[in-house]
Each structure stands twice: as structure tokens, then as C-alpha cells.
A and B are shown apart, each in its own frame.
Chain A
């Protein structure tokens, strides 16, 4: 299996104290507006290209694993999925907000691409793909509310 080669990214030149102050303010003055965007949740999806170079169906990249009763106290796998979903929501918000900082949007896009790439092996396994090395290219996209017509961003075909 040939792993996806993550691109090396240049660090952002700005945001020295900005992250500290922004995070402190966010924790001191949280919005508390939970579950306020019903029906517009952005979803990260991935798909691979088959051997004949045709793309296969899009599938969800972020699927929380099954839970047992004790997971109501601690659920690292679920926390990881929710943290990634939160990242996708921030990216979607940045893309849709015309006033958003371009550098921040690009940074978030890179993180979302990493998240999509990290989800690939499990998605292929769930798809019943026995040998990932036959996959040459893949794609990711963010859609709103699983509506295929409402695409926030769709990547180009990426090499595996």
C-alpha cells in the first residue's frame, strides 16, 4: 500500500499572539449557540477513481464509530470526529464569508484536506476495496446538508 504523500506546507507568517488572544476570548466569552444551524451542516466527502479512471460515488469522510454505554463518559474516537467536523464547519464558514481572512481560509483548507486524506484508508476498507495501491487518484469536497447541488468546495483529483 502506497501512503498518500502529504504536501509540505509553508508556515503562516502571521498570527503570533493572535491565536492566544482569540482562543482566550473564545473561552471567556463563548457563544453558547449550540445546534443553531439546522439543515445546513457541512459534510466532508471523499471519492476515489477506479482503475478505469472513472470516479466512484462520493461517501462521507467523517463517520463516528459505534458507541457502547460507557462511551458517554469518554469517547476519544468520537471526540476526534467531532473536532474534525468542527474544523470542516469553520472552513465552510470561511469560504462562505466574503470578509474572511484569505490566509486563514487557505490554512483551514489544508487542514480539511489532511482530514480527508486521513479518512481515506478507512473509507476504502468500508467500501470493500481490497488493495488501495490500485487507486491512483482521489478527491474531496464539502457539501451542505448532503445536498449534492450545494458544493462549498471540490478539490481537483489528488495523487495517492
Chain B
């Protein structure tokens, strides 16, 4: 059940990513930022796939593969090699998209979606032992836990996160497009930003507790979804919401295996 839910959500995330990149074609054109003539020198053997026409075809394939993964997740079952193929294709295209931008499209969300798709490739791998299938999901759970702990740890060491100054700086930064009411609230109520900053640190560092028992796991997953909805609404990190939502069910699987 966990793999099926992860598959459907990851497919949605991959489809949304493909649709977004298709609508961003202007910045990938010769009059945009990541123009082919400037980027192509580092593409090597991937030159054809990353060219303007090639990349559109790749994104169309991404939409098809996402549909396949969603159908596989919805139907369920075992020994379905085409579902593993869809997950592997989507992971490969996530890598190609990152290469197209010369780094990543959207930082950590690319990495988390790649992690989930790589894990799902193993989890759906046909004629493999259950150890391989479990390893795929547990790999996602481990990376997910690490993502929260690492993010919490870097904030823990930053004094500005404890004073609320960091959150005020991020909300005021124009590239995040935080609604003006929230920017004003953050600047007028230092206690509020301090409270939210400390809460974020404690929440992120508490991720390992999700492996402990069903109640802590369910509680953590619920708070995590609310946390990512919050970052999507406030900072516009929409890609993070879907990528992390696809990974979160793996925590339940890990908890069942460990507890």
C-alpha cells in the first residue's frame, strides 16, 4: 500500500514538473536565460536530448511515464516490469532536466523526487527478492529522515534562526514573493518569527522519532504535510510539497519494519 501511494504522488509530482518546464520554454530558448548555445558545450552525448526539440520530446515522455506510474500505483499488483520502467524513466528525466539547467531546476525538490523515483524503481523491480523491494522504500525513508535532520541541524547552529532574524530576512526577500501581509506581520512581531523558527528546528530534528512507533510516525507525517503546505503558501516552494509528500509514506513503512 505504501509503495502504491508513493507511486501515485510521485507520478503527480513528475507530471507537474514536466508541465511547468513546458510552460517555461521561453527561458530555455535562445532569448532566455539557459539558452542552448550557451549551455550545449557541457551536454556531451546528451546534446540531442537536451536540444530545444529533444527536450520537449523528453518532457512529453515524462508525462507519459508519469501516467504509467500512476496507473501502476492505482492498480497495484506484483511483477509489473512496466511500472519499474516508468519509475526509472522518470528518475532519468529528472537527472536530464537538472542537466538542462546546468545544476538543478529547483534544488532539493529535484533531489527528493529523484530519490523517491530511484527507490520506487527498486520497489517495483520485477522478479527481485523482497529484500530489494524493501531496500528501495527504506532508502527513501533514510534519505527523507536525513533531509529533515540535516536541515534542522544547520538551522540549530545558526543564531539568527533562534532570534527570528533569519525568518524575517527570508520573508522579506523578493524572490520568494511572500504575501505583503505576512512580511509585515514578520517584521512587526519578532516573537512570532522566533516561535516559528524554533518550532521549525524542533520539528525537523524530531524526524527520527517517526521510526519509533505508530503514534509518533502518524503525528510527524501530519505535521510534515502541514509544514510543506505552509512553505508552499508562504515561500512558493510548491515543488517541495509534492516531492516530500511522495516520500513521507516511506516513514510509515520504515516504522513498521523497525518497531
* Interface residues, chain A, with chain B CB atoms under 8 Å away: 6, 8-9, 11-20, 23-24, 26-28, 30-36, 38-39, 41, 43, 60, 62-67, 69, 71-76, 78-87, 90, 107, 110-111, 114-115, 118, 145
0 or 1 for each of B81-100: is its CB under 8 Å from A? (1 = yes)? 00000000000001100110
Q: Which residue of B lies closest to A112 (CB)?
A: B33
In the complex, chain B residues whose CB is within 8 Å of the CB of A12: 41-42
Closest beta carbon of chain B to A41's beta carbon, Å:
6
Q: Which residue of A lies closest to B117 (CB)?
A: A27
Is B104 within 8 A of A87, CB to CB? no
A13, A18, A60, A66: the one within 8 Å of B174 (CB): A60
* Interface residues, chain B, with chain A CB atoms under 8 Å away: 16, 19-20, 23-24, 27, 31-35, 37-38, 40-44, 46, 94-95, 98-99, 101-108, 110-112, 114-115, 118, 146-147, 150-151, 154-155, 158, 160-161, 165-166, 169-170, 173-177, 179, 229, 232-233, 236-239, 241-242
Is A114 within 8 A of B35, CB to CB? yes
Is A15 within 8 A of B42, CB to CB? yes
In the complex, chain B residues whose CB is within 8 Å of the CB of A32: 108, 111, 146-147, 150-151
B24, B32, B94, B174: the one within 8 Å of A76 (CB): B24
Is B170 within 8 A of A78, CB to CB? no
Closest beta carbon of chain B to A3's beta carbon, Å:
8
Is A64 within 8 A of B174, CB to CB? yes
Closest beta carbon of chain B to A159's beta carbon, Å:
17
In the complex, chain A residues whose CB is within 8 Å of the CB of B27: 80, 84, 118
Is A69 within 8 A of B233, CB to CB? yes
Complexed CA–CA distance, A84 and B165 (Å): 24
Is B37 within 8 A of A72, CB to CB? no
Is A73 within 8 A of B242, CB to CB? yes
Q: Which residue of B lies closest to A83 (CB)?
A: B105
Q: Which residue of B lies closest to A65 (CB)?
A: B177
Is B151 within 8 A of A38, CB to CB? no
B19, B38, B170, B233: the one within 8 Å of A74 (CB): B19
Is A86 within 8 A of B103, CB to CB? yes
Is A27 within 8 A of B98, CB to CB? yes
Is B238 within 8 A of A72, CB to CB? yes
Q: Which residue of B lies closest to A84 (CB)?
A: B33
Complexed CA–CA distance, A27 and B241 (Å): 18
Complexed CA–CA distance, A24 and B101 (Å): 13
B105, B150, B169, B174: the one within 8 Å of A38 (CB): B169
Complexed CA–CA distance, A23 and B102 (Å): 8
Q: A35-B166, A67-B236 are in contact. Are A19 and B44 (CB under 8 A)?
A: yes
Complexed CA–CA distance, A67 and B238 (Å): 11
Q: A60-B174, A82-B106, A83-B105 are in contact. Are A76 and B165 (CB under 8 A)?
A: no
In the complex, chain B residues whose CB is within 8 Å of the CB of A107: 38, 102
Is A79 within 8 A of B238, CB to CB? yes
Q: A19-B43, A35-B151, A66-B177 are in contact. Are A114 and B233 (CB under 8 A)?
A: no
In the complex, chain B residues whose CB is within 8 Å of the CB of A114: 32-33, 35, 38
Closest beta carbon of chain A to B54's beta carbon, Å:
15
